[in-house]
Amino acid sequence: MSNQPSSTTGCPFTGELPTDPAELAALMAQVPATGEAAATGIEAPVADWVTIEDLYRDPFPIYRRMRGEAAVHWVPAVNRYMVTSYAACHEIEQDEAIYSADEHNSLMKRSMGHSMLRKDNPEHQVDRDSYGATLRPGTIKKHWNAIFEANNEKYLAELLDKGPGADFVWDYAAPYTGENLRMVMGFHNATQQDLQRWSQTLIDGTGNYADDPDVWALAKKSSDEVDAAIDEMLPYLAKNPEPSLISGLSSMPIPLEAIRANLKMTIGGGLNEPRDVLATTVWALLNNPDQLAAVLAEPKLHSVAFEESVRWVAPIGMYPRETTKDVVLEGVNLPKGARLGVVLGAANRDPKVFEDPEAFNIFRPKKPHLGFGGGVHFCAGTWIARAQVAQVAMPSVFEKLPNLRLDPAGETIDAGWVFRGMTKMAVLWG
């Protein structure tokens, strides 16, 4: 018997069904497994074996097991459905009508205000457009690259002054990316240390599921400081224009509340990720000497190594969405109002898309990863991140720190799952 259902025995789209069980099975295989058209799916498996501690230490074995079982799980420890397959994460990103970014009871809204990242269109687009040309490739080439180069000189020199054994993350990557973001945003009344503190405390508020009052107090303090700094810079940069975000926003017809929320979200998202991808990429290359040798021989490969690093360890490992109606996602039923975690860290290692996905491999066939998100919320700072890390920092790191290597006497730790990166990385050179 043919596997293809004949037009006389039934059609998945008209509801006429064959009586033969084998034909029926073949027919059902043609029914779309996702989206509104699917009739029904399975209940999400419950992953009660997942703990936050295990996710924080190393989420990848957990993701492997989950993806092998189903594209979506209900995870009690996280109080969300976690979506781990590439296809399902991609589908969510492309359909904001069903998968809304405007989550109810959002901790991010409480910590940072209602930013573009928690709005759907058309409201989202108004905020996104208000960022103008500041983060775009033309402005980076004309303006920011020279500033990134000067900042890189300064903070690499500080790392060199500290001497071998210094921490690559905290003595170089963090202050360098903090200073870049300070200037891109136009906070001439703050320091890169302020940016680092604001970023961490606001992010901690976004993840404060335990409702710790001390975490809220620190987030509120930073939020107030950021508001005061914005209030001071807006009139100044309106009179003294420059390519920064605050300068552009000073002439936009957009409410102050939205400006404040968008800038806080950008402080939260524009510093840790370039810092983390810079350290992770260098760590990965140091652990793969053949790939490092190839990159040193062909500097264009710095960009390839950067993208492979964002795939391999997505700096934003998970972000939230909420369903606006009952839906079946890759064969799994989701009720209206379901809180989802879109797990980019898992999608980027889906073996259905990437061969040998757990390996860092700059020679793998080029395929789009989801590390910068997708759809209407695709990362607005992608080009800024690529410029400061792949174009400016990485080539000079390997040039100014010859024979760079991990310090066996120091600590090297990679950690996190919502955000993942190196938390310690002692290095030697020379």
Is 269 a binder of ligand HEM (CB under 6 A)?
yes
Of the pair 74, 312, the CB lying nearest ligand HEM is at 312
Compose the 199-238 pattern: x for residues touching ligand HEM by CB under 6 A, - for all others: ----------------------------------------
Of the pair 74, 372, the CB lying nearest ligand HEM is at 372
Measured between alpha carbons, how far is 336 from 429 in angstroms, rounded to an integer?
Answer: 55
Of the pair 23, 96, the CB lying nearest ligand HEM is at 96
Measured between alpha carbons, how far is 230 from 233 in angstroms, rounded to an integer?
Answer: 5
Q: Using CB under 6 A, which of the segments 282-290, 291-299, 373-381, 414-422 binds ligand HEM?
A: 373-381
Spell out a b/e string for 227-250, using b for 16 or more CB atoms within 10 Å of the CB, else e. Answer: bebbeebbeebeeeeebbbbbbbb
Measured between alpha carbons, how far is 411 from 311 in angstroms, rounded to an integer?
Answer: 24
- Residue 15 φ/ψ, nearest 5 degrees: 95, -5
Shortest distance (Å) from residue 71 CB to ligand HEM: 18
Q: Using CB under 6 A, which of the segments 30-38, 151-159, 271-279, 294-302 binds ligand HEM?
A: 271-279
**Three-class SS state of 100:** strand
Of the pair 243, 371, the CB lying nearest ligand HEM is at 371
Q: By beta-carbon distance, which residue lies closest to ligand HEM?
A: 381
Of the pair 243, 381, the CB lying nearest ligand HEM is at 381
Shortest distance (Å) from residue 277 CB to ligand HEM: 4
Please name which of 360, 222, 260 lies closest in space to residue 304, comparing C-alpha atoms: 360
Measured between alpha carbons, how far is 369 from 345 in angstroms, rounded to an integer?
Answer: 10
- Give the pairing type, strands 405-406 and 427-428: antiparallel
Measured between alpha carbons, how far is 91 from 278 in angstroms, rounded to an integer?
Answer: 29
Shortest distance (Å) from residue 307 CB to ligand HEM: 10
Shortest distance (Å) from residue 388 CB to ligand HEM: 7
The CA R_g of the chain, rounded to the nearest whole Å, is 23
Shortest distance (Å) from residue 154 CB to ligand HEM: 19
Q: Using CB under 6 A, which of the segments 47-55, 200-208, 228-236, 270-278 binds ligand HEM?
A: 270-278
Residue 97: partners with Cβ closer than 8 Å, 6 or more residues away = 324
User: Looking at 168, 198, 319, 417, which residue binds ligand HEM (CB under 6 A)?
Assistant: 319
Is 394 a binder of ligand HEM (CB under 6 A)?
no
Shortest distance (Å) from residue 123 CB to ligand HEM: 11
Number of residues that bind ligand HEM (CB under 6 A): 25
Shortest distance (Å) from residue 201 CB to ligand HEM: 18
Q: What is each CA distance from 336 to 80, 156, 182, 322, 404, in whole angstroms? A: 13, 50, 40, 8, 52
User: Looking at 384, 394, 422, 426, which residue binds ligand HEM (CB under 6 A)?
Assistant: 384
Identity of residue 271: L
H helices of 9-118, in order, are 21-28, 52-57, 60-69, 86-94, 107-112
Residue with tokens 């174009």: 391
Q: Using CB under 6 A, which of the segments 73-81, 165-173, 217-225, 265-273 binds ligand HEM?
A: 265-273
Contact between 165 and 410 under an 8 Å Cβ cutoff? The reply is yes
Q: What is each CA distance from 300 to 144, 180, 295, 393, in whole angstroms? A: 20, 22, 7, 13
Is 371 a binder of ligand HEM (CB under 6 A)?
yes
User: Looking at 130, 139, 151, 266, which residue binds ligand HEM (CB under 6 A)?
Assistant: 266
Compose the 151-190 pattern: x for residues touching ligand HEM by CB under 6 A, - for all others: ------------------------------x--x------
Contact between 386 and 303 under an 8 Å Cβ cutoff? The reply is yes
Site for ligand HEM in 111-130 (CB under 6 A): 116-117, 128
Residue ranges in contact with ligand HEM by CB under 6 A:
116-117, 128, 135, 181, 184, 266, 269-270, 273-274, 277, 310, 315-316, 319, 371-373, 377, 379-381, 384-385
